[in-house]
Structure 1
Amino acid sequence: MMSISGKLTAIADQIRTHYGISGNMSIADMIRVINAGKSLIDRTLTSVTIPGGVTSIGTSTFQDCTALTSVTIPNSVTTIGTRAFQNCTALTSVTIPSGVTSIGDSAFGSCSALTSVTIPASVTSIGSGAFWGCSSLTSITIPGSVTTVGDNAFQSCIGLTSVTILGGVTSIENYAFFHCSALTSVTIPDSVTSIGDSAFQNCTALTSITIPASVTSIGQNAFTNSTLTDIYCGFAEGAVSGAPWGAANATIHYNATT
């Protein structure tokens, strides 16, 4: 059986032949070989097991690995970096281990085949666009350990029907669930104090939402272009400015207990 070193040499030889590179290589030729090799790995890598002891998955580590269907992340990992798995369009499920505290910006952005992701109670931060464009994701539970759901975190998750946000989250940032066009159910806990601009804009299947009394700020266009018919607010009329926050056809029920 050919060794890893032998396989890499064979791949390099094929790339050299493809590009007509012979003899000593210039730096430019070396860069072409390296980039071509990375492109080949990106297009053919199907499974990854990250070894124990690794604590961080760095920026763009597996970005554009479009054949990747399976990844095993060890408990030693604490940080999933920016764009770590962005555009891994064949990745179907991810279990994030209980040691992870931070999911970086666009970490799983455009993972369009991702149907299941488990976010453990150790996570305190979900970055901007972390799951942007995960169009096959159908439900998500955000643990109470998270304090802020970042800008655009779940934007354009067009298959998402249910969102459960557990107590502990204080802020739903701008565009967090923008264009989640299949979303019919969202649970907002009484720890939340602010809902950002366009947070639920273009959620065209959402007909009813309950906003707890803890909320003191709702951003512009938070519910624009939704089909909301009823907004149940735990606070009194006038307590939060900007009503109906873009939901032009909704009836607002103030001091609601349900």
Structure 2
Amino acid sequence: MSETLFRRRKRRLLWLAAMTLLFVSGVLAHNTEPVQAASTVTEDGYTVNRTYSYGRFTVAVTKYDGTDTALTLPAKATISEKEYTVEEVQSFLSDSQRARVTSITIPGGYTSIDVGAFRDCTALQSVTIPSTVTSISSSAFAGCTSLKKIQIADGGSALKISNAAFSGCTSLETATLPSRLKMDSDGTNYFYGCSALKEVSIPGSENFVTGENGALYAKNETGLTLVTWPEGSTTKKTEIPDSVRSLQVNVLGAHSLRDNKTIETLTVPASVTTFQRYCVNGCSNLKLLVLKAGTPSFEDSDYAFADMADGSVIQVASEEVRQALAGQTNNYTEGKTQIEVMKAADPCDLNGDGKVDLLDIGTAQKSYKAEQKDSDWDKHSACDLNGDGTVDLQDLTALYNKIYNR
């Protein structure tokens, strides 16, 4: 190699090294300010932190030193001589404050409420959430036992609420959610353990449907997924409908009936073939669970039926289903629950309690004189034991003879 060519290459390498050094120095100089965490305390006593990661700032409320019980969180904060919009609520209250704060107003500009942000705020009665919030994380309001009113503004970007966000809010009777709520892939129950809850609704939603008893369903590709079955509207003997508003119910969503302490007998129709994780978990008074599906899927149903009542029974449609469920011991509690194949129903067992007695005559009497031409015949047809299109004295006599073996 000639001396001239060698010098040219050497100069080129030195130039490249210098440019690289200048570039790196510029990047470091540019990032010196953002990578430094900083905080400020507002006039109202809120500590607001600014952090930097993944190329952006996060500005969040992290502490409160005041004594007010009706809180309006800060919308803006000045940190290092620059004003920022506050975007996130983290867990910022002390235990004593959680026992005193009665209302929370979150101003516009906030986008997320972090995991457990208001967990166990036992005095909290109302919360107002703006349309800018797009994420309410798991357990954000869990255990707020005095919470009676939730206001989540509509009209903003899509909102995602994570599982158990309002779990254990035992004073909550109704919940109205915005139509911008977005369902995740398999359904989550935001309200399990809310023992007083009677109705969940989402007015104007294209993705959700509300049932007659206040239950909330999400539309899936082939039908409906049960999201929430309100415990406050539950009877001891409960039956999931096979369809709602002409759409078939085919999935019990994750956690959908979890921790329901009211139900003692639950019947799930044959239309429901998919059971997701924890769907009937922790129903400690549930003694009889009837699964009518002939070919159910238990693939993603971890702990679906665990912790039912002592001595409880799960009745299934066939021996094949019994073996399939029995092979997944994490789905039920072996020491508490047995799995049995259901017996063919007696047509005279009109109330479905597994026996034919005077209670069935009472059921038939309620349908007495109903006729096939009636618009509500579907409610009475089971009492037409001889199939002549009328519930009459012949049907009541047949029941009486069945009971007394005549």
Q: Please give the TM-score of this superposition, normalised by the length of structure 1.
A: 0.58
**Cα distance 1:206–1:70, how it changes in 2: closer, same or farther (>3 A)?**
farther
SS in 1 for 2:104: strand
**2:309 maps to which residue?**
225
**1:182 maps to which residue?**
262
Instruction: Report deviation, 1:196.
Output: 4.4
Does 1:142 find its partner at 2:198? no
CA distance in 2, matches of 1:230, 1:59: 35
**2:169 maps to which residue?**
111
SS in 1 for 2:99: helix
Q: Which of the residues 116, 123, 130 maps onto 1:74? A: 130
**2:297 maps to which residue?**
216
**Cα distance 1:208–1:36, how it changes in 2: closer, same or farther (>3 A)?**
closer
User: Please, which moves more after superposition, 84-93 or 220-229?
Assistant: 220-229
CA distance in 2, matches of 1:13, 1:57: 20
Amino acid at match of 2:173: T
User: Please, which moves more after superposition, 42-51 or 161-170?
Assistant: 161-170
User: Please, which moves more after superposition, 193-202 or 74-83?
Assistant: 193-202
SS in 2 for 1:48: strand
**Cα distance 1:71–1:200, how it changes in 2: closer, same or farther (>3 A)?**
same
**Cα distance 1:81–1:189, how it changes in 2: closer, same or farther (>3 A)?**
farther
Check the 8 A contact 1:95/1:118 in 2, yes or no.
yes
- Give 5+ residue unaligned stretches, structure 1: 15-34
Check the 8 A contact 2:316/2:339 in 1, yes or no.
no
SS in 1 for 2:342: strand
CA distance in 2, matches of 1:36, 1:45: 12
Does 1:252 find its partner at 2:342? yes
Amino acid at match of 2:106: I
> Percent sequence identity over matched residues?
22
Q: Report Cα offsets for 1:22-61 as digits up to 9, x if no partner.
A: xxxxxxxxxxxxx997455433322223333433222232
Check the 8 A contact 1:216/1:239 in 2, yes or no.
no
Q: Which has the larger radius of gyration?
A: 2
**Cα distance 1:200–1:43, how it changes in 2: closer, same or farther (>3 A)?**
closer
CA distance in 2, matches of 1:79, 1:254: 48
**Cα distance 1:200–1:8, how it changes in 2: closer, same or farther (>3 A)?**
closer
CA distance in 1, matches of 2:122, 2:133: 23
Check the 8 A contact 1:181/1:202 in 2, yes or no.
yes
Instruction: Report deviation, 1:231.
Output: 4.7
**2:234 maps to which residue?**
161
**1:238 maps to which residue?**
320
- State the number of aligned residues: 224
SS in 2 for 1:71: strand
Amino acid at match of 1:60: G
Q: Per residue, is there more strand in 1 or in 2? A: 2
- Give 5+ residue unaligned stretches, structure 2: 1-41, 47-63, 68-90, 200-213, 327-331, 346-381, 383-406
Check the 8 A contact 2:259/2:284 in 1, yes or no.
yes
Amino acid at match of 1:124: M
Instruction: Report deviation, 1:104.
Output: 2.1
**2:183 maps to which residue?**
124
SS in 2 for 1:242: helix
Greater RCO, CA 8 A, separation 6+: 1
Instruction: Report deviation, 1:80.
Output: 0.9
* Cα RMSD, aligned residues only: 5.0
